[in-house]
Structure 1
Amino acid sequence: MTACSMTGFARGEGSDDRIRWTWEARSVNGKSLDARLRIPSGWERLDPIVRKSLQDGFKRGNFTINLDIRPIGGKGVVRINEGLLDELVARCEAFGERPRLDTLLTVRGVVEAAEEDDGDLSGDDERIAAIESTLTDTLARLAEARSDEGGRIASVLRDHLGEIETLVEEAETCADAMPEAIRNRIMAQLDELLPKDGALASERLAQEAAVLAVKADVREELDRLKAHIEGARDLLREGTGIGRRFDFLCQEFNREANTLASKSAALDLTRIGLNLKACIDRLREQVQNLE
């Protein structure tokens, strides 16, 4: 299965002997599934059809669905703005002029081109089925566009996970992360800071240093990071509907990286921790696009 993005666009057109229609479907990131529909007046019976199609086909995203319906060429009508025409006639007579219809009809706004009233056409079940079929095709293309974009995002996520894995391996081999190195560093610091007269027993100091070394040990955080990497790769293999879970996993990634950086007392390990945080932020930015 392929991971899906929440971003996409699709367009579909159809027609019969009376009208021509066009569907446009757009989607962007969203925490849930929300739809904004623009359906022409008189065609409201399509509204629940669109909403159900979205719920059946998608899990998350903010959708904008537009339907444009126009009469077939030659089906337009011409209307006379009688109110404006009466006003012009009255003005001509007020000035003592004899109104000429051929002249008045050339005044802008008197003659109006209009579309044939198609409100009654929405009652034709066969026509509604044809429009719905175009909608189905349009949403299928939208899903395909989201899937294609999701594939590109998944490739970027795999690269980020590889970078995180490399940093974790680097941290594992860092001498400053080894328990013995941590213990020796703490003992050296205590030796510099404490009095030389033996006021504090060396055995007690060794015990305290061991406790501090355990607290500074980052192996547990590194193990968790490795587990999170495998979990993220499993999600990518699963593909669909992984956005929320992947976002939560990114929070866990970030928590372990923060702990690692806070425990570090060595420049090399601190550098690795900061690089991990930066890479995890980039990972999470991309994850926000997944359905």
Structure 2
Amino acid sequence: MTSSMTAFARVQVQEDWGSLVWEIRSVNHRYLEPHFRLSEQAREIEPGLREVLRRQLSRGKIECNLRLQLAESTQKLTLNEAALEGVQSAVNQVETWFINASGVDPLEILRWPGVMENEETNLAPVHAAALKAFEEAITQLINMRQREGAELKQFVLTRLNSISEEVGTIRGVLPELIEAQRQKILDRLEEAKAELDPERLEQEMIILAQKMDVDEELDRLDTHIQEVKRTLDKKGGIGRRLDFLMQELNREANTLSSKSINAGLTQSAVNLKVLIEQMREQIQNIE
């Protein structure tokens, strides 16, 4: 299924331990390039998050932002009694040296490094919820990418049909154009009353016909059109192959333009290049 690389997803979780919100944005990129903004409490789950992305996506710049808020009941402060005793011992020693040294502010004691400690919080439930919510957000992101991808596919198919119509038009008028060009040359020779060797004239006509012959270019255009349609129905990342096919289509349109023998054929070649460029711009956003 054709997928776009542009999408957004948001998942929120509320539990006894607190709340978390995932916001994920995806834009087009040549490769898969994830960026994470995580709080310190969630740093250790980053490898698991990256693995989820590698399994689900193949291309795109993915910005993943996690906002984590733990409930106050999960963040407890405790006294380190051993450190507190050490500070008290130091204060007692100071008292033997200075008068009135015992007027110590308790808050100053609490600020002493190591006296107050954060009680270790069990983050396992938080990590499990964050991973589950992340997978839900990625599923949401993929669904949005596929919806937009379906629209991009229809856009490309519409342009392909227009190219096929243009190629058909060229095939229909080409024999008349070649014959008209041949007759134009003969008329000029007749007006000039030039006497040329019949064999030499025939050789020149053959060379002229070869220069004007665009059947191969038209055949290759038809082949590339069918290949683009087949690629659009494939699974997985197809954007790079489609981009290559756009280059091939453009190459044939340029050759067709260089072999143009009248304004109508030139205009058809221009129309082809416009349609191909429109497709190419949209294909840059296909995964």
Q: Output the TM-score relative to the length of structure 1.
A: 0.78
Trace 1:189-228 onto structure 2 (pairs within 5 A).
Answer: 196-198=193-195, 200-228=196-224
Trace 1:63-78 onto structure 2 (pairs within 5 A).
Answer: 63-72=62-71
Corresponding position: 1:289 with 2:277: no
Trace 1:1-291 onto structure 2 (pairs within 5 A).
Answer: 2-72=1-71, 120-121=120-121, 124-175=123-174, 179-188=178-187, 196-198=193-195, 200-291=196-287
Match of 1:114 in 2: none
Provide the secondary structure at the position in 1 that maps to 2:280.
Answer: helix
Provide the secondary structure at the position in 1 that maps to 2:273.
Answer: helix
- Superposed CA deviations along residues 59-87 of structure 1, whole A, max 9, x for unmatched, are 1001100000013378799xxxxxxxxxx
Change in 2 beyond 3 A, CA 1:190/1:43: farther
Change in 2 beyond 3 A, CA 1:197/1:127: closer
Measure the CA separation in 1 of the matches of 2:251 and 2:137. 42
Larger radius of gyration: 2
Tell me, yes or no, if the aligned pair for 2:75 and 2:118 is still in contact at 8 Å: no
Deviation at 1:130, TM superposition (A): 1.6
Amino acid at match of 1:196: K
- Superposed CA deviations along residues 156-197 of structure 1, whole A, max 9, x for unmatched, are 1111111111111111111467554444344445556xx635
Deviates more, 1:123-132 or 1:159-168: 123-132
Deviation at 1:209, TM superposition (A): 2.0
Amino acid at match of 1:215: K
Match of 2:88 in 1: none
Change in 2 beyond 3 A, CA 1:206/1:73: same
Tell me, yes or no, if the aligned pair for 1:41 and 1:119 is still in contact at 8 Å: no
Report the number of matched residues: 248
Deviation at 1:268, TM superposition (A): 1.0
- Superposed CA deviations along residues 214-271 of structure 1, whole A, max 9, x for unmatched, are 1220111111111111111111222431111011000000000010011011111111
Amino acid at match of 2:124: D
Change in 2 beyond 3 A, CA 1:235/1:38: same
Amino acid at match of 1:205: L
Change in 2 beyond 3 A, CA 1:266/1:5: same
RMSD: 2.5
Measure the CA separation in 2 of the matches of 1:247 and 1:234. 14
Deviation at 1:284, TM superposition (A): 0.8
- Superposed CA deviations along residues 8-39 of structure 1, whole A, max 9, x for unmatched, are 00011113222211111110000000011101
Amino acid at match of 2:211: K
Measure the CA separation in 2 of the matches of 1:119 and 1:179. 89
Tell me, yes or no, if the aligned pair for 1:182 and 1:213 is still in contact at 8 Å: no
Tell me, yes or no, if the aligned pair for 1:27 and 1:61 is still in contact at 8 Å: yes
Deviation at 1:208, TM superposition (A): 1.5
Measure the CA separation in 1 of the matches of 2:190 and 2:120. 94
Change in 2 beyond 3 A, CA 1:27/1:209: same
Amino acid at match of 1:35: P
Measure the CA separation in 1 of the matches of 2:137 and 2:269. 46
Measure the CA separation in 2 of the matches of 1:228 and 1:120. 62
Measure the CA separation in 1 of the matches of 2:285 and 2:235. 13
In structure 1, stretches of 5+ residues that fail to align are 78-116
Tell me, yes or no, if the aligned pair for 1:186 and 1:209 is still in contact at 8 Å: no
Provide the secondary structure at the position in 2 that maps to 1:25.
Answer: strand
Measure the CA separation in 2 of the matches of 1:27 and 1:237. 22
Segments of 4+ moved more than 3 angstroms: 72-77, 117-121, 175-192
